[in-house]
Amino acid sequence: MTTGDMEQFQLLEEKIDRLIEMIRDLKKERDSLTEKLHIQEEKLADMTAQVEELKSARDSAKQRLISLLEKIEQLEV
């Protein structure tokens, strides 16, 4: 092998090492983003449940109010 060949192999090795490092970094970033997504999905599920609870409470309050208004109307007759 000539010196030029050795230099080419060294350049190739350096490029491969950089690619491997980039792949590792990208995997770490992917894992981090996946975890963040999971957390956001959990928050969304919690918020959706809270909205449903609030809707249910609102509907219950509305029904009680209607019932009270009906009772008041009966007194006026």
pLDDT tens per residue across span 28-58? 999 999 999 999 999 999 999 999 999 999 9
What is the C-alpha separation between 12 and 19, in angstroms, rounded? 10
In this prediction the pTM is 0.65
3-state secondary structure 55-66: HHHHHHHHHHHH
What is the C-alpha separation between 31 and 25, in angstroms, rounded? 10
The per-residue pLDDT for 4 is: 84
Residue 75 has which token pair?
């007194």
- Asked if pLDDT for residue 77 goes beyond 70, the answer is no
The better pLDDT of the pair 1, 29 is held by 29
- Asked if pLDDT for residue 16 goes beyond 80, the answer is yes
